[in-house]
Structure 1
Amino acid sequence: MNILYCGDIHIAQGLVLSVISLKNHVKEPLHIYVLTMSLTLNDQSYQPIDKQTISVIQTIVQEKNPKSTVEAIDISELFLNEMPHMNMSTRFTPYCMLRLYADKLDLPDKILYLDTDVLCRRSPLEFYNQDMEHYELAGVLDHYGKWFFHEKPFRFDYMNSGVLLLNLEMIRKTRLFERCREYCSTHQMFMPDQSAINKLVTYKKLFPRKYNEQRKLQCDTVFQHFTTSFRAFPIVHTVSIKPWNRQGMHDVLHLHEYDNLYTEYDRFIMNRI
C-alpha cells in the first residue's frame, strides 16, 4: 500500500501517530512517501521533516512488515520554480499545497494521500483496492463545505482533501495537478489546494463518510479526520482538537478510542532518546 504525506518539521507528532494507526490495520507492506521542503517566507523559516522522524517511522512500519519502506522527498526546488504566488500567506501553510507536485515525482501511480491529522481505525484495503482506471481521484464529501460549495447546481460534490486516493497516471494525462498549481498561482483562495482540486477535477469517485469521518466517530469509521468543527452549546463556537493533543482528545472530545496509539508512540519515541 502506497501512502503520501506532506509537511514540515511541525507535523512530526501527527505523522508518527497516523503511521502507527495505519500499521495497526494493514498487514501488507506500507510504502510511505513524505513530501517536504525548506522555505523562508515573511521572515519565517520552515524546516523540512527531520531524519530522526523518518527513522522512527521506518522502525514502526518495519516492525510490522520488514518489506515496508519510508522515503522523505525534498521538493524545495520544484516548489520555488512553480510557486503558488497568490496563496503564500493564507491561514494554511504553503506545505498544504505540496501534494499538487506529486505528478512531477517518481511515485507509484496509485497512492493514498492522508493529512497528518487523520487516524486509521479499520482496514482501509476496501477503499484502497478500488478500480481507479478511469478516475483521477477518489474521496469523501466535505462535512461543511458540501452545503456551501457546488461545482454543479443542486448537487453535493465538494470533497474534503484530507483523504484522497490518487491515480497519478490519470492525473498526468488530464494535467489536473498542473492546472491546480497554475490556478493557485493566479487565484487567492481560503483553502487553496482543496478549492483548486474541487474546481478542476473532472473524473472523481465519491465514497461514504466512513472513509473520511470529519464530524464524530461512528461504529464503521475507517479514517477519522480531526478537522475544525462547530458546536452549538452553550454558544456557537469552533472546536479544533488534533490527535497529538492528548488532553483535548480526552477532556474536550471525550475520546479514548486511540489511547493505544499514545502508548505505542511513547514506546517508539522513548527508544530513540
Structure 2
Amino acid sequence: MKEKNKRMNILFCGDANAEDGVLITTLSLLKYKHELHLYILTMTTSSQTKQYHPFSEHAVALIEHLLKEKNPHNSVQLIDITDLYQKQAPSPNQETRFTPYAMIRLFADEIPALPDRILYLDNDVIIRKDITDFYNQNLEKIEFVGVLDFFGRWFFHNQWRIFDYINSGVLLLNLKYIKQTRLFARVRHLMSTKKMFFPDQTALNKLAKHKKIAPQRYNEQRKLHKNTVIQHFTTTFRFIPYFHILTVKPWDVDRVHSVLHLHEYDELLNEYLKLKPQLHPEKNK
C-alpha cells in the first residue's frame, strides 16, 4: 500500500457509556499497521427522563496512550458539539429508545476538524480483519458506503433496488461530497421536524441518493462467518427455542461466552478487561 494511504480516520460518537466500546474497537484497530487518527464526538445534554454525561477526558487519555504506544503518529481528538447540537436539536426524536448521541454523527459536516474521508463506527463494533481495501475504495460521487441492515432491508425500501436500506453502524463517509449534496443538513432538518422509528438511520436512508452498498462481511450484524471483516454486535431477533430479542455487547464478556458461545475475541477482550480498571478508576476505590 502506498505511504499516503496508510492514514486511517475513524469517527466515534457517544457519551460516557460509550467508553468501554470505543476502547475495545480501538484495541481491535491497533492490531493492524495503520496510522490511526480517531475523532470522538460528544456533548452534554439531557432529556425529560435522563441525564447524560459526555465522553470523558480520562478515557481519551487512556486511548491516546495506547495509540501513541503503538505509533507516535497516531492521535485521538475529543470534540464537544453541545452548542452545535442545541442549535438544531432533533426534538421529536430525543425520547426514542435510542440516545440523542446516536444522532450526533450527522453533524459531522459542520465540524472543520474532520477530514474529507472518515470511517464512522458504532461503539459495539470489532474489527476482525484488515479494513484497508474497504477504507481506500473509490468514493467519487458517493456520499457514503454501508452494508444492508440485516432485518431492516426486508421492511424498508427507498430507491429502485430491491434491497437498499443500509445499517448506519458502519459508514465510510465522503464528507466533502456530503457537504456538496447537503445530505446531512437535510437529514438534520427531517429529524428536527418528524418523529421516526429509527430516526438517524431512517432519515439517512430516505434522503441519500448517492450511496454504495458493500458486502455483508464489512458489517456482520447476525453472527460470525469465516470471511467477516467487521462484526457488529447489534440487537437481533432469535426464533429458537422461542421468539425473543437478543442484545449482547462486546464489553459484557461473560455473556459473549455464555449466550453467544463466542471465543473468537478472547485475546482482545482479555486485554480490555486488564485495562478496564484504568478506564473506570472511580469504581475501584
User: By the TM > 0.5 criterion, same fold?
Assistant: yes
For 1:187, which of 189, 194, 217 is the aligned residue? 194
- Partner residue in 1 for 2:51: 45
- Partner residue in 1 for 2:84: 78
Deviations 1:50-109 (A, max 9, x none): 111001111122222111000000000000001101101000001000000000002100
Letter in 1 for 2:57: K
Letter in 1 for 2:127: C
| Cα deviation, residue 154, structure 1 | 6.0
Matches within 5 A, 1:190-209: 190-209=197-216
Matches within 5 A, 1:10-21: 10-21=17-28
- Partner residue in 1 for 2:260: 253
Partner SS state of residue 138, structure 2: coil
Matches within 5 A, 1:226-245: 226-245=233-252
For 2:147, which of 134, 140, 151 is the aligned residue? 140
Distance 1:59 1:8 in 2: 20
CA contact (8 A) 1:60 1:268 kept: no
| Cα deviation, residue 267, structure 1 | 3.3
Letter in 1 for 2:123: T
- Partner residue in 1 for 2:98: 92
- Partner residue in 1 for 2:61: 55
| Cα deviation, residue 261, structure 1 | 1.4
CA contact (8 A) 2:62 2:278 kept: no
For 2:71, which of 65, 73, 96 is the aligned residue? 65
Distance 1:121 1:208 in 2: 15
Runs of 4+ with deviation above 4 angstroms: 270-273
CA contact (8 A) 2:45 2:82 kept: yes
Distance 1:269 1:245 in 2: 12
1:7 aligns with 2:14: yes
Letter in 2 for 1:185: S
CA contact (8 A) 1:210 1:220 kept: yes
For 2:33, which of 23, 27, 36 is the aligned residue? 27
Distance 1:54 1:154 in 2: 41
Distance 2:190 2:126 in 1: 30
Instruction: Give the gaps of 5 or more residues in structure 1.
Output: none
For 2:121, which of 111, 114, 117 is the aligned residue? 114
Distance 2:64 2:215 in 1: 31
Distance 1:263 1:154 in 2: 42
| Cα deviation, residue 150, structure 1 | 0.5
- Partner residue in 1 for 2:42: 36
Instruction: Give the gaps of 5 or more residues in structure 2.
Output: 1-7
Distance 1:185 1:71 in 2: 28
Equivalent pairs, count: 272
Distance 2:176 2:105 in 1: 15
Distance 2:239 2:151 in 1: 14
User: What is the TM-score normalised by the length of structure 2?
Assistant: 0.93
State percent identity of aligned pairs: 49
Flag the 1:154–1:202 CA change in 2: closer, same or farther, 3 A.
closer
CA contact (8 A) 1:14 1:243 kept: yes
Flag the 1:201–1:154 CA change in 2: closer, same or farther, 3 A.
closer
User: What is the TM-score normalised by the length of structure 1?
Assistant: 0.97
CA contact (8 A) 1:139 1:165 kept: yes
